[in-house]
Amino acid sequence: MKWIRSSRLLTGCLGMMLLVAMRVSAQIPSPPALLVLEKSDDTLAIVDPESLQVVARVPAGQDPHEVIASDDGKLAYISNYGGEGGTLNTISVVDLVARKALPPIDLGALHSAHGLAFAGGKLYFTAETNKVIGRYDPATQRVDWVLGTGQDRTHMIVVSKNLDQIVTSNVSSGTISIIEQITQQNRGFGPRLAAMVHQVYLRLEAVVAPVAVLERHGL
C-alpha cells in the first residue's frame, strides 16, 4: 500500500478548538463523562454530563490543548502544544478509571503536538514544528509511522473509521491535506506499505467553494 496526499487551497483556515470535551465510552465501569481541558491550570477536568459537576481533576502536562479518549474509554491522551515553533515533545496520558496521570509519551524529535485522533487502536497526532503527522501504537509504546505534509502549522487531524483516509488542517498555509491509503502491486522488492506522496493543489474561485469541493469528495 502507499499513501497519496492532496491539499486543497482554502480561502480561510478551520476554526480552532477553544474548549475540548469528549464523551468517554460506556465500556468503562462508570457513567459517561465529559473531558474538559482547563488550559490555564494545566489540568483535565472529568465532568458528570448529567449534573455538570466536576468529579475529578488530573494533571494534564504543560500547555494542554487537545484531548481524545481511547476506543475503550480507559485512557485519555492530551497534546502538550507549546505554540508554533515550540519545543515541547510530549503527549500526556490519563487513566480515566483510576483518575490519575500516567507517564507521558515522549515524541523525541517531534515537537508541538496538537491535533489528536484515535482510530484502529492507535493514536494519530500532528507535530506542527516538524510539519508532519504521526501515529503512536499504545501496544508497543512507539511512534510507528510519520508522514510530512509540507504545510505550515499542520494543526488538526481526522482519521476515517476504515483508516483509509486522513484529513488535516494547515493553518498558516491555508490548506486542507487529504492523505489516502491505496494498494500498490508488490513487484518483488521493498515493503507493500510505502510513504510515497503525490500532492495536488486545487485553487478555489469562490468563498463558498470549499464546502462544495469537500462534499463532492465525500468528506
H-state helical runs in the chain: 209-216
Place of cell 494545566: 42
DSSP percent split of the chain into helix, strand, coil, nearest 5: 5, 45, 50
Measured CA to CA, the distance from residue 99 to residue 78 in angstroms comes to 14
Q: Which amino acid is at 31?
A: P
Q: What pLDDT sits at residue 181?
A: 80
Break the chain into its structural domains and give their ranges.
2-216
- According to CATH, the topology of domain 2-216 is Methylamine Dehydrogenase; Chain H (2.130.10)
Distances (CA, A) of 99 to 42, 122, 124: 15, 21, 23
pTM of the shown model:
0.76
Q: What pLDDT sits at residue 85?
A: 87
DSSP bridge partners of 99: none
Chain centroid to Cα 134, Å, comes to 9
68-120 pLDDT, tens digit each:
999 999 999 999 999 988 999 999 999 999 999 999 999 999 999 999 999 99
